[in-house]
A = this chain, B = another copy of it.
Amino acid sequence: MTQILHLTASARHGRSLSRMLGARFIDGWRRLRPDDVIVPRDVGAVPPPAISENWIAGAFTPEVERTPEQQDALAISDELIGEVVDCDLIVLATPMYNYGMPAALKAWVDQVVRVNKTFTFDLTRGDDPLAPTLAGKTMVLLTSSGEFGFAPGELRSHMNHLIPHLETVSKYLGVTEIHTASIEYQEFGDARHESSVALAQDRVDGLVGELTKSLPSVAA
């Protein structure tokens, strides 16, 4: 059995293209693998709080010594980390806002990347003291942007602070394999946009076919 964390970051509901891609992936998956567990987490609709001074102090304090305020600050982090730990596949559907993650998605990242939970810190490792504690997870990253040319080698690749950033931090979620599908040209609303939507939808359908074959379907 595969457990999927279906993470959605768009602030929009009906007209979100990233949301559409995420729903398409999940619907396709359910048709082929109806017994898999899907855990939805809609940070676009309910953004996690930004981390606070109590959060940081609590994360660096042994669990039994935490103040009630520190425990409160970490409660949502514990819940969100639990969802990451339990899943095999993260389907992350997000728009590009101002060339990067929506603040709501960055709030989720800041809640789940946590010392002694998703990574350890050890200076005996030398100049590379961080190491993830999780491994073997797959991420399907579904994005939508108003402009275009954000792929490597294209004209706005140096302005893409969304996908490269998620590639960097996903290491600390135990992600060792990433697949992407991206819609571009949303603000132009022209034939290039229509073509980009169609290509991304085909890519999503292809990823469903591919990953339902490669990810475990037998009960653990």
**A interface residues, Cβ below 8 angstroms from B:** 11-13, 47, 49-53, 55-56, 97-104, 106-107, 109-110, 113, 121, 123, 127, 129-130, 147-148, 158-159, 161, 164-165, 168-169, 172, 187-188
Contact = CB atoms under 8 A, between A and B. Distances in A.
Given A12-B56, A53-B12, A107 B99 contact: no
A41 B117 CA distance: 32
B109 A11 contact: no
Contact of A168 (B109, B148, B161): B161
A164 B158 contact: yes
A82 to B, nearest CB: 19
A69 to B, nearest CB: 14
Contacts of A127: 148
Contacts of A52: 11
Contact of A99 (B51, B148, B165): B165
Contacts of A103: 50-51, 103-104, 106-107, 109-110
